[in-house]
A and B are shown apart, each in its own frame.
Chain A
Amino acid sequence: GAVVSQHPSRVICKSGTSVKIECRSLDFQATTMFWYRQFPKQSLMLMATSNEGSKATYEQGVEKDKFLINHASLTLSTLTVTSAHPEDSSFYICSATFGGYEQYFGPGTRLTVT
């Protein structure tokens, strides 16, 4: 149980375009979803916390207009990287929780901006 999927797993886009990443909890309703960014050989960096039906809470230093988060249902959250630039290239991971502090992570999305 507690399976989280992410789509796409890899995406290459051109500078200036937007990319949407989906995060789904497959077998449970997620009260909260989180979006992380991870650089090579480093820990996870929390970008934002997302609750269904309400605005996401962004961490300090994360541009909310650049990283748009929509949490339309208890099983789906999306992250849209708008006007992507090469410095946005990274590994993006979502996680979901259903009431406790144990988070269940998606497999990640590798974004490359050319």
Chain B
Amino acid sequence: TQLLEQSPQFLSIQEGENLTVYCNSSSVFSSLQWYRQEPGEGPVLLVTVVTGGEVKKLKRLTFQFGDARKDSSLHITAAQPGDTGLYLCAGPWAGGTSYGKLTFGQGTILTVHP
């Protein structure tokens, strides 16, 4: 069974602080995705990382894919209240024939206080 372990589960910080969310697995993934979900809304795809060692930047968000493609991280610089939400990492599910199916991490609830 592929598991994605996210940490921390909860993060409460002040505006302007930096933070990192981790997504780890003992399994190799062909790609990993990060989603952000605001309360009462559906998740929104932020980025997909595909190549081991890849770094992608999206404004103040930096995503890394581990060299061995077993882990990923999301770093937010100078967090703002608008970054508040549930962050989910996800990777392709390797079992069976359900193409497109994803395995999700447990999620990280980020609260940024003004």
Contact = CB atoms under 8 A, between A and B. Distances in A.
Interface of A: 4, 6, 31-32, 34, 41-44, 46, 49, 57, 91, 93, 95, 97, 99-108, 110
Interface string B22-62: 00000000110101000011111100100000000000000
Interface residues of B, number: 26
Given A42-B107, A43-B88, A43-B107, A101 B41 contact: no
A24 B15 CA distance: 37
Given A102-B33, A105-B42, A110-B40, A34 B107 contact: no
Q: Among B40, B42, B91, B109, which residue has the most Cβ atoms of chain A within 10 A?
A: B42
Interface of B: 30-31, 33, 35, 40-45, 48, 86, 88, 90-92, 98-102, 104-107, 109
Contact of A44 (B41, B88, B98): B88
